A and B are shown apart, each in its own frame.
Chain A
Amino acid sequence: MTDTIKLDARIPSGPIEQGWDKARFEMKLVNPANKRRHTVLVVGSGLAGASASASLGELGYNVKCFCFQDSPRRAHSIAAQGGINAAKNYPNDGDSVYRLFYDTVKGGDFRAREANVYRLAQNSVHIIDQCVAQGVPFAREYGGLLENRSFGGTQVSRTFYARGQTGQQLLLGAYQALERQVDAGTVTMYPRSEMLDLIVIDGQARGIVVRNLVTGELSVHLADAVILATGGYGNVYYLSTNAKGSNATAIWRAYKRGALFANPCFTQIHPTCIPVSGEYQSKLTLMSESLRNDGRIWVPKQHGDKRPPNEIPEEDRDYYLERRYPSFGNLVPRDVASRNAKAICDQGLGVGETGLGVYLDLSEAIDRFGIETIRERYGNLFDMYQRITDEDPYETPMRIYPAIHYTMGGLWVDYQLQSTVPGLFVLGEANFSDHGSNRLGASAMMQGLSDGYFIIPYTIGDYLATAKPAKVTPSHPEAQAALASTRRGIEKLLGIKGKRSADSFHRELGRIIWDCCGMSRSAAGLKEAIDRIRTLREEFWQNLMVPGWSSDLNQPLERAGRVADFLELGELMCIDALDRNESCGGHFREEYQTPDGEPQRDDEHYSHVAAWAYTGPDNPPELSKEPLQFNYVHPSQRSYK
């Protein structure tokens, strides 16, 4: 069975430039006096969750915000380094809202929804204004005006940044706005609280089941609408640039309650990370893509050239990105840069002990601009590299290798950011909407903040004014059923008493998915991965060891629940990758490539969003398709040559 659920994206009719204005005018409003009578739950406190909580609190809604960390300021948005795009065109270099829109649709390899992307580009300019006003210390020119830099996949300078800590500063801006609302009494913060289930009553999302991570107590929180802003699922790969705590539990359990999961196989491998060094390794560290602005990527031309990089003369170096893509050079989009790094290492030309690495060389930039300028631009990144590798990047080129970094897939949402469950809204990386099959650099933060500051405040009002949710109490059978099933799930994990830790299963799962559903995928590999994941999942439920008690702070228990969900999500990713018989963006199927090794899209059959519905524990998921229409940016073979 296919196409059983009709997906209505609710895209406004008429010219794309006027779509958002038109939609906003048509939306119903909630009377200011009535707003405080509406309770809204926000799960997650990153850029999307904090900005949504703050903005809804400012409007007067009664907001409850949940995060699993000890403080909302810890959310992983904090680790974003490079910057945030905005179509301000301050540098006068030809940028415009339309160009940002065009670049993002093209960069996403024509698998994003045009209307959403256009709105994102429009909102980008307001985000910068908002953040400057909040006191985000963006980099400045000597004249006092905002400075810009360029980023992969674009030929204009539109990226605003705060040293290498842009995410930290934007998140602290949103966090401070959130704390201001906590002070004002409109937002109640629930730190160390993890959402474990979604409560759906009469077809509407009405609440969540939450575990207090200190006392272990389970509680029901009811509301008129639920917002998930819980980030991506990159940790399914175990080793990723995500924070250790980042997980898919909230969106996965919402999927099991009826929300469709869109394009799960669209994952982004970031080209510039510090290579893996050993089995004990717990995570990978990103070196901001902004380094590619001033850095040149190369490998030795000859196999087995073991000379230190500084002793390899120019003529023995292969600047393979500049060679293959003369017009974009080192600034090709992430998927292209990653794939080329893998290809060159697969040919045996990689550097470092493992042979899985390429050089990112800033020595020319150091000569050109002076060491002080480079220190100012990238000092904290260089320090971080040195701390981890014990090598000095001011003296010797850095070694980098691709690593999983971001997931474009996520819960399906319409133009209003509402999932297929009415009253359940999904923001930021947790939804699928704006990046197609590849995200351009400096656009994740743009999307999180656009969703939270400038979209949800309108669309949630329209929902509340239209749906008029009835009053419910925690004694409602659906709420009690969700609570009871969550409790059973926890007891089941604690009761297995096997021999392996959740982490050891997680590591094994990660290796399967990295090998078969990572930088390149094939039908045979994906089928094998699905079998192996099923076997691993069976072992998990028989041989897991979770020590301790449910009524305590119990970190192994928290992890076990998240790994159980990754074990299911990993399979859905492979099913989706197997169904998409084309290559696009980060999804590279070996069977579908051009003669020179570039991804070969199939617009005739796959110009759609693949949205999967849960049909029960032993049934295969059901596919629905949202066809994509490109009225403005016409699909072409993406070329960066």
Chain B
Amino acid sequence: MKLKLTIWRQRNPAAKGKFVSYPINDVNPDMSMLECLDVLNESLIERGKEPVAFEHDCREGICGSCGFMISGVAHGPLPATTVCQLTMRHFKDGDELVLEPWRSASFPFVKDLIVDRRAFDRIIQSGGYISVSTGSAPDGNTLPVSKEVADRAMDAAACIGCGACVAACPNGSAALFTGAKIAHLAILPQGKPEQDRRAVRMVAQMHTEGFGSCTNIGECTGVCPKKIPLETIAVMNRDYLRGRWRERQAPVTTIAPVTNWDFEKTERVP
């Protein structure tokens, strides 16, 4: 089949970007979206032109590297699917697909379809863990965890950190990503001791990064390749409110967002 790919091309954040259209003949319906871009890139390289830069790695929908908007929908039209697993059989001969990067002020632009998602790492740094140093753990069966609880924790823990939730949200909110980690750890007994502190710090970091607020629209869970449930945001809000009250005396500091690639030491902001 034949497709027209209209792709956002921009060499770097300082350069001016524009859409460029590429007709692709011989699209095999079994190809993935990324394999379709591979074929385009191969032809560009052979002509000595710069290929389309896009992020990808595992190509089996679990690493979270890939992702862009396809005609306005994060990861394209198929539910619960990343672009690396989206096969071309879901499009029709003659379709035009418009590919553009995640648009969010908190995901600074890098090149073509690539953005900088380090904000997510900084949210995890701000308490998205259980503080247990190597060697200090009790036997794995010491604390029984009911199957229902383990399953709910797993549902939240399945997040791959791709950023589609932010890109789809009209507010540019990272509530689903942050809520997923808060919920995963809050649901398990191992995560209880740090429950309040974790929610307060992670939410504060989310705000420092400039992500918008959640207004319960639900676009995020709609495009989420792992179907992270919207309830995780409710867990986040509950834990945040309770934590804010209980820890009202404790000062909260966050990490200053870094947008350059010089790897200077990060700062703390109150």
CB–CB B60/A244 < 8 A: no
Residues of B within 8 A of A604 (CB): none
Complex Cα gap A640–B144 (Å): 36
Contact A140 B150 (CB under 8 A): yes
Residues in A neighbouring B125, C-beta threshold 8 A: 179-180, 182-183
| Residue on A nearest B31 in the bound complex, by CB | A280
Q: A79-B58, A169-B157, A280-B31 are in contact. Are A179 and B121 (CB under 8 A)?
A: yes
**Is B126 a contact of A183 with CB atoms below 8 Å?**
yes
Among B129, B146, B255, the residue within 8 A (CB) of A140 is: B146
Q: Does B147 contact A (CB under 8 A)?
A: yes
Tell me if A622 counts as interface (CB < 8 A to partner B): no
Q: Which residue of A lies closest to B116 (CB)?
A: A70
Docked CA distance A286–B11 (Å): 35
Q: B59 near A: Cβ within 8 Å?
A: yes
Contacts of A141 in B (CB 8 A): 147
Kindly specify which of A124-132, A255-263, A319-327 makes contact with the partner chain. Answer: A124-132
Instruction: Say yes or no for B176: interface residue by CB 8 A criterion.
Output: no
A144 CA to B133 CA, complexed, in Å = 24
Is there an interface contact between B50 and A214, defined as CB atoms closer than 8 Å?
Answer: no
Within the complex, the shortest CB–CB distance from B174 to chain A, in Å, comes to: 14
- B179 proximal to A (CB < 8 A): no
Query: What are 10 pairs between A and B in contact, CB < 8 Å?
Result: A71-B64, A73-B64, A132-B140, A132-B143, A134-B190, A135-B129, A137-B154, A182-B121, A387-B85, A504-B42
Bound Cα distance from A137 to B111, whole angstroms: 36
B137 in contact (CB, < 8 A)? yes
Interface segment out of the listed B32-40, B165-173, B213-221, B241-249: B32-40
Q: Within B238-269, which residues are at the interface with A (CB < 8 Å)? A: 255, 261, 263, 265
* CB atoms of B117 and A180 under 8 A apart: no
B57 contacts A76, C-beta separation under 8 Å = yes
B-binding segment of A187-195, A411-419, A586-594: A187-195
Asked if A215 is at the interface (CB within 8 A of a chain B CB), the reply is yes
Q: Which of B38, B131, B146, B157 contacts A144 (CB 8 A)?
A: B146
Interface string of A377-393 (1 = CB under 8 A from B): 00000011001101000
Known contacts being A454-B134, A545-B48, is A144 close to B145, with CB within 8 Å? yes
B121 touches A130 (CB 8 A): no
**Contact status B141-A146, CB under 8 Å:** yes
**In chain A, what residue has the closest Cβ to B255?**
A183
B44 surroundings in chain A (CB, below 8 A): 547
User: Are B49 and A547 in contact (CB-based, < 8 A)?
Assistant: yes
CA distance A229 to B154 in the complex (A): 27
B57 contacts A497, C-beta separation under 8 Å: no
Q: Does A285 contact B (CB under 8 A)?
A: yes
Which size class do A's interface residues fall under?
35 or more
Contact of B117 among A70, A90, A138 (CB under 8 A): A70
> Does B146 lie within 8 Å of A142, measured CB to CB?
yes
Q: Which of A128, A142, A548 has the most CB of B within 10 A?
A: A548
Please report A residues at the B interface, Cβ cutoff 8 Å.
51, 54-55, 58, 69-76, 78-79, 88, 90, 126, 128-135, 137-146, 162-163, 165, 167-169, 172, 175-177, 179-180, 182-183, 188-193, 212, 214-215, 243-245, 277-278, 280-283, 285-286, 383-384, 387-388, 390, 453-454, 457, 497, 499-501, 503-504, 545-548, 552-553, 555-556
Query: Does the CB pair B129–A180 fall under 8 Å?
Result: yes
- A-chain residues with CB within 8 Å of residue B136 when the two chains form the complex: 133
Partner of A71, one of B118, B154, B190: B118
The distance in angstroms between the C-alpha atoms of A132 and B144, with both chains bound, is 11
Q: Contact: B31 with A278, CB < 8 Å?
A: yes
A54-B134, A499-B46 known; A179-B38 Cβ under 8 A: no
Closest 10 CB pairs between A and B?
A: A144-B144, A176-B129, A133-B137, A132-B140, A137-B154, A129-B137, A501-B45, A137-B153, A243-B57, A140-B150
Chain B residues with CB under 8 Å of A58's CB are: 133-134
Q: Is the CB of A545 within 8 A of B46?
A: yes
Instruction: Known A143-B144, A555-B53; judge A55-B134 contact (CB<8 A).
Output: yes
Say yes or no for B56: interface residue by CB 8 A criterion: yes
Q: Is the beta-carbon distance between A176 and B137 smaller than 8 angstroms? A: no
Q: Are B12 and A552 in contact (CB under 8 A)?
A: yes
Tell me how far the C-beta of B98 lies from the nearest C-beta in chain A, rounded to whole angstroms.
22
Contact A180 B50 (CB under 8 A): no
Given the complex of chains A and B, what is the CA–CA distance between A384 and B85 in angstroms?
Answer: 8
* Residues from chain A with Cβ under 8 Å of B150 in the complex: 137-140
